[in-house]
Amino acid sequence: MNLRLIILTTPDFLPQEATALTAILDKGFRLHLRKPGCNEKELAALIEGLPASHRAGIVLHDHFTLQQRYGLAGIHLNKRNPDIPDGYNGSISRSCHSLEEITEYKKQTDYLFLSPIFNSISKQGYRSEFSMEQLRTAARKGIIDTKIIALGGITADNLTTVRTLGFGGAALLGDVWNRYRSPDDTEAFLQHLDKLIQTVS
């Protein structure tokens, strides 16, 4: 089974970020736009900088009205935005931080993030909440399955572990964006995206 790979944006805007995000979409990753401090106009401008042909691979964490306007893949529910908008009819994912939340929300969503699986790269001091044995037991019970996406400390080096634990995919943030802070980093950034793809192929 191939793992589904998802990349989350950094909370802050980066120089020529649309170019890096386009490369992510070009390579077939699903992209979660997570910019909690931005306003709707700023997020719309970022979306407009991305190819219209790739918008079906984008999920929003904020400003859900933009999903329909731009024909994006879906919305991601979280503590800031916990509710499905009235009349919404697209893909739904959600952040979870316990196995109990997974059980509660699984039937209402297309997929769920469970975090932190490993110690976070992007959030200092945000440590794994789960032992390997807890995760293996959850997989045996069918709590962790192909609808569950591992988040938190995910790198190319632990993707194989994520797969053996029964997750359907992995979401990356720090491992990817530590390699891109400006367009000067593009070559190494692209090489790392290719490495991630090769690891799960």
121 is a domain residue: no
Instruction: Report the C-alpha gap between 66 and 142 in whole angstroms.
Output: 34
CA nearest to 148, candidates 139, 160, 159, 161: 139
66 is a domain residue: yes
What percentage of the chain carries pLDDT values higher than 90?
A: 91
The answer to whether the predicted template modeling score (pTM) of the entire model surpasses 0.85 is yes
In angstroms, how far is the first alpha carbon of the chain from the final one? 9
20 is a domain residue: yes
184 is a domain residue: yes
CATH number at residue 56: 3.20.20.70
SS3 assignment for 14-82: CCCHHHHHHHHHHCCCEEEECCCCCCHHHHHHHHHCCCHHHHHHEEECCCCHHHHHHCCCEEEECCCCC
Overall domain count for the chain: 1
For 102-128, what is each residue's pLDDT tens digit? 999 999 999 999 999 998 776 666 678
Residue 1 has pLDDT above 70, yes or no: no
Q: What is the DSSP letter of 9?
A: P
CA nearest to 121, candidates 176, 157, 174, 170: 174
73 is a domain residue: yes
